[in-house]
């Protein structure tokens, strides 16, 4: 069988914002593939870029293991991998080139490799897989083992690469994670030094069936695949017993989806002796009273909602499928259930002028989420949004890192304005953490800063392509 070095290229140190947050999670999808390769009989080593110093650490492991194959398989559960940050692409291409110089054959897979395979092939990769690539990877490795001298194009001949399969089988959906390959102690030390607790990640589903115009789905396509609540509860119990984390982050695009699934998950956790506090991502229109109660019963302590905007005009332009009223209702229901709420906010989308921007300000003031994450609209390849603005895109087509927040198309305002609005929205949320005298002073300061910003901005016609 083959000796394979499996890794990824998301270096926490290459993203100053994420490095400062110090909330690293092991790469689930990469570790699932490592487990698959073991089941196929291959000899597997693992390179974890997340807590590495840089690509020199990869070179050291490459020299030590001398693999036949290097498989760079990005973590599909990491939303920042979907964004294809330029710093991580640069690192991946360096790793590809160094692996080829070391005599290894190189396979790459991930969102960016699906969208721009030519970049990785030019760096020296033999094959760039589309989507998950799990349908063709075993056959590809068999061919490589049988005929190691063939070029990458010959390996792939006759192997259909698909992005969306009709349905994943149970084996794929319940793929185990090769936890033994992870340096859990380093993750634990990093978390506890920064936050006094240790969080691990899980996934109860893959993908999303909704059709937001800006959201790319190059890995799982337009489908939502859900594991059984019994299996998810059993995995949480195993992680609790094995690693003793204080908290779980569910990396699903949408956790639970239906209240009855979440309630069955809660009941199974009770049967197993209790679960762990956890955080999720979800949608406003999924938070019924029953869902809020079920999430609380299961141990959910924080839910992040893709609110995106306080303007119904913008939500409709995004094809979001939710209403501003539903955002408020979800916030209230979760608050009543004792679940903290975070809002993901997106600034600068097509159709957002000054009135719509101020409606988002009003949403934050009225709904008072416990936390927010603010971005500007990012044209991801393969989306309807990207098609609408691609004629406007210049040489900068990717953010350097997650704090870049640069506009890459012609919005109503420039990058500096959106960065200022981001800071003001965060300041508004931070008011909830202050005592009364400090809150009043901070509120006055926020008011002055908004006034200064608005004095600079004249209502303008929204620029659309």
Identify the residue with better confidence: 147 or 390: 390
Q: Which residue among 134, 156, 178 closes a domain?
A: 156
Which pLDDT does position 427 carry in this prediction?
Answer: 97
Query: Does the pLDDT of residue 194 top 90, yes or no?
Result: yes
Residue 109 forms beta bridges with which residues?
73, 129
Q: pLDDT digits over 221-242, tens only?
A: 778 999 999 999 999 999 999 9
Instruction: Categorize the per-residue pLDDT at 94 as very low, low, confident or very high, splitting at 50, 70 and 90.
Output: very high
What mean pLDDT comes out for the span 138-165?
A: 75
The residue assigned the tokens 């990785």 is: 120
Across the range 68-91, mean pLDDT stands at 92
Q: Do residues 450 and 318 share a domain?
A: yes
Average model confidence (pLDDT) for the chain? 92
* pLDDT band at 103; cut points 50, 70, 90: very high
Q: Is 452 a residue whose pLDDT tops 70?
A: yes
Q: Give me the CATH number covering residue 76.
A: 3.40.50.280
Residue 385 confidence (pLDDT): 94
Q: How confident is the model at residue 166 (pLDDT cuts 50, 70, 90)?
A: very low
Whether residue 137 has pLDDT greater than 90: yes
**Is residue 142 scored above 90 in pLDDT?**
yes
Residues 355 and 272 in one domain: yes
Residue 264 maps to a domain? yes
pLDDT at 100 over 80: yes
Residue 462 lies inside a defined structural domain of this protein = no
Say how many Å lie between the first and final Cα of the chain, rounded.
Answer: 53
pLDDT-derived band at 464 (thresholds 50, 70, 90) equals very low
Residues 6+ apart with CB under 8 A from 97: 123, 124
Residue 229, in any domain of the structure: yes
pLDDT computed for residue 52 by the predictor: 97
Checking if the pLDDT of 365 tops 70, the result is yes
Task: Tell which of 98, 126, 156 closes a domain.
Answer: 156
Average pLDDT over residues 368-374: 97
Q: Are residues 249 and 373 in the same domain?
A: yes
Same domain, 99 and 246: no
Q: Are residues 212 and 85 in the same domain?
A: no
> 5 phi and psi, to 5 degrees?
-95, 115
| 176 is a domain residue | no
pLDDT of residue 159: 72
Does residue 368 come out as left (phi exceeding 0), alpha (psi in the -120 to 50 range) or beta?
left
For range 30-56, the mean pLDDT? 97
CA pair distance 122, 117, nearest whole angstrom? 9
Residue 332 lies in a domain: yes
Is the pLDDT higher at 152 or at 195?
Answer: 195
Asked whether residue 134 falls in the same domain as residue 210, the answer is no
Same domain (yes/no): 133, 247 = no
Q: With 50 as the cut, is the pLDDT of residue 253 above it?
A: yes
* Residues 335-344, mean pLDDT to the nearest whole number: 98
How many C-alpha atoms does 384 have within 13 Å on its Cβ side? 9
CATH code, domain carrying 335: 3.20.20.70
Which pair of structure tokens corresponds to residue 259?
A: 């209240």
Provide the phi-psi class of 299: left if phi over 0, else alpha when psi is between -120 and 50, else beta.
Answer: left
pLDDT at position 221: 75
Q: What is the pLDDT of residue 162?
A: 54
Confidence check: pLDDT of 165 > 70: no
Least reliable range by pLDDT among 345-359, 365-379, 397-411: 397-411
Q: What is the DSSP string of 120-155?
A: HHHHT-SEEE-TT-TTTHHHHHHHHHH-TTS-HHHH
User: What is the pLDDT at residue 423?
Assistant: 96
Domain boundary among 104, 127, 156: 156
Give the pLDDT score at 433. 86
Are both 151 and 256 inside the same structural domain?
A: no
15 exposure class (CB count in 10 Å sphere: 0-12, 13-18, 19+): buried
**Does 179 reside within a domain?**
no
Same domain, 149 and 201: no
Residue 450 in any domain: the answer is yes
State the pLDDT at residue 153. 72
230 and 107 inside one domain: no
Q: Which domain holds residue 122?
A: 3-156
Task: Read off the pLDDT band of 462 (50, 70, 90).
Answer: very low
Average pLDDT, integer, range 98-123? 94
Whether residues 30 and 93 share a domain: the answer is: yes
Q: Is residue 459 predicted with pLDDT exceeding 60?
A: no
Is 464 within the bounds of a domain? no
When comparing pLDDT for 404 and 173, which is higher? 404
Percentage of the chain modeled with pLDDT above 70 = 95
Q: Per residue in 259-294, pLDDT tens?
A: 999 999 999 999 999 999 999 999 999 999 999 999
In angstroms, the CA 70 to CA 62 distance is 9
Same domain, 143 and 285: no
Number of compact structural domains in the chain:
2
């Amino acid at each position: 069988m083959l000796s394979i070095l499996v890794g990824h290229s998301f270096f926490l140190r290459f993203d100053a914002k994420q490095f400062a947050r110090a909330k690293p999670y092991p790469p689930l999808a990469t570790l699932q593939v490592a487990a698959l390769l073991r089941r196929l009989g291959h000899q597997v080593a693992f390179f974890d870029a997340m807590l590495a110093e840089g690509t020199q650490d990869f070179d050291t492991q490459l020299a030590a293991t001398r693999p036949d194959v290097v498989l760079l398989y990005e973590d599909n559960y990491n939303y920042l991998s979907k964004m294809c940050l330029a710093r991580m692409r640069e690192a991946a291409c360096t790793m590809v080139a160094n692996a080829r110089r070391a005599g290894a054959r190189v396979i790459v897979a991930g969102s960016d490799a699906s969208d721009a395979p030519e970049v990785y092939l030019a760096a020296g990769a033999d094959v760039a897989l589309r989507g998950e690539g799990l349908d063709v990877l075993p056959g590809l490795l068999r061919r490589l083992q049988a005929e190691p001298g063939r070029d990458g194009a010959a390996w792939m001949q006759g192997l259909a690469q698909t992005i969306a399969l009709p349905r994943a089988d149970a084996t794929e959906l319940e793929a185990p994670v090769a936890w033994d390959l992870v340096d859990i102690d380093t993750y634990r030390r990093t978390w506890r030094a920064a936050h006094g607790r240790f969080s691990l990640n899980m996934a109860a589903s893959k993908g999303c069936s909704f059709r937001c115009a800006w959201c790319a789905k190059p890995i799982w396509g337009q489908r939502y695949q859900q594991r059984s609540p019994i299996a998810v509860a059993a995995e949480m119990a195993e992680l609790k017993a094995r690693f003793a984390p204080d908290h779980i982050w569910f990396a699903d695009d949408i956790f639970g989806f239906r209240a009855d699934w979440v309630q069955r998950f809660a009941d199974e956790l009770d049967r197993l002796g209790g679960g762990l506090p956890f955080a999720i991502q979800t949608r406003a229109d999924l938070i019924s009273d029953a869902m809020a109660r079920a999430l609380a019963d299961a141990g959910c302590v924080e839910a992040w909602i893709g609110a995106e905007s306080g303007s119904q005009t913008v939500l409709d332009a995004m094809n979001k499928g939710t209403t501003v009223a539903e955002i408020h209702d979800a916030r209230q229901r979760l608050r009543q259930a004792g679940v903290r709420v975070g809002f993901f906010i997106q600034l600068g989308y097509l159709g957002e002028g000054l009135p719509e921007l101020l409606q988002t300000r009003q949403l934050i003031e009225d709904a008072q989420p416990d936390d927010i994450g603010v971005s500007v609209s990012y044209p991801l390849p393969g989306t309807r949004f990207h098609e609408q603005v691609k004629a406007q895109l210049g040489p900068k087509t990717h953010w350097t890192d997650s704090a870049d927040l640069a506009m890459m198309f012609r919005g109503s305002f420039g990058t500096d304005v959106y960065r200022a609005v981001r800071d003001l929205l965060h300041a508004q949320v931070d008011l909830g953490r202050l005592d009364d005298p400090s809150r009043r002073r901070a509120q006055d300061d926020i008011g002055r800063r908004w006034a200064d910003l608005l004095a600079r901005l004249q209502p303008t016609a929204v620029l659309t392509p």
